[in-house]
Amino acid sequence: MPELPEVTTVSQILQEEVQGLKISQAEIFYPKLIRDSTPEEFIKRVKNQRINKVYNQAKYIIFELDTEMMISHLRMEGRWAYEKEANFSYNKIIMEAQFKFHHQETVLRYYDLRRFGTLQLVTKKNFFENNPLDKKIGPAANNPHLTGAWLQEKWNKKHRAVKSLLLDQSIISGIGNIYANEILFAANIHPKTPGNTLTRQQLDLLLTESRRILNEAILHKGTTVRTFSPTVDSHGNYQKFLQVHNRQGKKCPRCYGTIIKIQLGGRGTYFCPNCQPS
DNA sequence: CCTTAGACCTGGAGGC
DNA sequence: TGCCTCCAGGTCTAAG
């Protein structure tokens, strides 16, 4: 799925739905879902723990339990659904995990068509003393404290195309393919521009536009593309505001030139050659 | 160290 | 209809 706005939306919905519920039983139907422990150990560690809070760090969903942090990454197609046990929101076959709760008829399920998603436990003590996510990913792209000066220091030895740098979660986290395309259009920057050649002004603009676009997308509950929705019966609406993504051959909303699509680092890349010159 | 291809998975869309 | 190829909102690794 899902980039930062969609993951934020999903975790906000989950927070409302499952906060306070106490897990009576967990079941894992696809063992490779679980990272860093066996499914058996995972099941044992979450049993009888209460979900105290659900929130996200960039593209990771974090369930704060009593003594464990349960960390979910949806990758491309992962979905959580809080639903009646008899109702399956998605194909039963692609259900990978199920959580039952004390005194509840509703269950929490994880579905993943492409089976890329991951679920792992980190003890709370470990998480708060030495958050493993902080070692893996940089600050979130909508963090208001990021500055162009900081980004210049991070990118000044990077020859790579700016689009691939925006997608590199170890530097800035939360931006994926759709929003990378939208942010570069908003900042009038050609996706292939080498990171180390961007001016301080362009870097400042990139960060302002990242913040603006991600935060607006959160307000619209994310972008619904293909099959993803925050829940089965709710949809994100940000797709109405997309300027270039998936719009090759259509008119640029700014200059009325034609949007083109190229491959960059294996990802579909959409831009307006007129507004974003090389 | 930096950077890029390939791998991991499945199903839908479009061409012939 | 059937078969083939390509594509999809992500990340990890192996190898240059």
Of A residues 7-46, those with CB within 7 angstroms of nucleic strand C are none
A267 is catalytic: yes
Q: Is the pLDDT of residue A226 over 90?
A: no
- The pLDDT score that the predictor gives to residue A230 is 56
**Is there contact between A265 and strand B, defined as CB under 7 Å from any strand atom?**
yes
Q: What is the tens place of the pLDDT at every residue in A4-39?
A: 999 999 999 999 999 999 999 999 999 999 999 999
* Torsion angle, alpha carbons of A249, A223, A176, A61, to 10: -170
- The pLDDT score that the predictor gives to residue A53 is 98
Q: pLDDT category, A256, cuts 50, 70, 90?
A: confident
**Phi then psi dihedrals of residue A220, to 5 deg:** -95, 15
Q: What is the tens place of the pLDDT at every residue in A82-94?
A: 999 999 999 999 9
CA A52, chain centre distance (Å):
22
Token duo for residue A52 = 């105290």
8 Å CB contact between A101 and A23 = yes
Using C1' positions and the CA of A158, the closest nucleotide is B2
- The pLDDT score that the predictor gives to residue A228 is 53
Determine the average pLDDT of the residues in A251-269: 95
Q: What is the tens place of the pLDDT at every residue in A231-240?
A: 655 678 999 9
Q: What is the tens place of the pLDDT at every residue in A110-163?
A: 999 999 999 999 999 999 999 999 999 999 999 999 999 999 999 999 999 999
**Is there contact between A32 and strand B, defined as CB under 7 Å from any strand atom?**
yes
A194 is catalytic: no
- The pLDDT score that the predictor gives to residue A271 is 97
- The pLDDT score that the predictor gives to residue A236 is 87
A59 is catalytic: yes
pTM to 2 decimals?
A: 0.97
Question: What stretch of H or E contains A207?
Answer: helix A200-219
